[in-house]
Amino acid sequence: MKHLCEFMSEGWAATAAALWFASASVRLKKPNKIRYGLESGLDDPKAILAMVYKQSRWSAWAAIAAGLAAIFAIADGLVPGTQ
């Protein structure tokens, strides 16, 4: 049981890291339109809101994965060790 909790904790932590990376890459996919709009003052609110929505969606899943990693890490600490 302890090994399962440890495995699940590490797996969810790796998943959270991958999701946060995906969240950061959302900003880099289409920088031309959004960056041009922000620098020139002629911003396209629809494009900016779509980017924020996509990024926040990935960030939310990453936070859920990090929470599951923390729960399994706590469970790993509470389960008595094997000899």
Domain range annotation of the chain: 2-78
pLDDT tier at 14, thresholds 50, 70, 90: very high
Which has the higher per-residue pLDDT, 75 or 28? Answer: 75
pLDDT tier at 11, thresholds 50, 70, 90: very high
The pLDDT tens digits for 25-69 are 766 565 565 555 555 555 667 777 777 787 788 888 899 999 999
Q: Rounded to an integer, what distance in angstroms lies between the CA atom of residue 21 and that of residue 61?
A: 12
First to last CA, the chain: 13
